[in-house]
Amino acid sequence: MNSLRTFEERWNYIKSSLPIKLNNEWVRGFIDGEGSFQFGIINTTNRGKPYLALNPTMEVAQSSHDVGVLKALIEFFAHGYLKPKYDINDIELAKSNVLLLDL
């Protein structure tokens, strides 16, 4: 459906749909399809004592015209941030980026 729409049309559609309210079932399906879970284990040192650092993360990648969906996920989980960090209201910057949501 979106393949025939311009970036601006997709951008404006999401912007006109804000604020987006998500429910549990939609989020579960969206994360299943678009998300990835990772778990990092690294040896590190703190105050001279070695230990294993555990870093669980979930990421969701989307085209930058879908930034409204990613912002809604941040509100849903009450946690997370967008990468790269830039003014998400600037369409020219958005055209040159793919966004990741880190939770």
- The predicted structure's pLDDT at residue 6: 78
3-class secondary-structure state, position 4: helix
Q: Token pair for residue 87?
A: 């003014």
Report which of residues 2 and 16 the model is more confident about.
16
Per-position DSSP letters for 6-65, written without gaps between them = -HHHHHHHHHHTPSP---HHHHHHHHHHHEEEEEEEEEEEETTEEEEEEEEEEEEEEEGG
- Where residue 26 falls (left for φ over 0; alpha for ψ -120 to 50; beta otherwise) is alpha
The rounded mean pLDDT for the chain is 81
Tens digit of each residue's pLDDT (9 = 90 or more) over 51-96 = 999 988 888 887 777 778 888 898 899 988 887 776 777 777 777 7
Domains, in order of start, for the chain: 2-102 (3.10.28.10)
CA dist list (Å): 100 to 44, 46, 47, 59: 26, 29, 33, 6
pTM of the model: 0.68
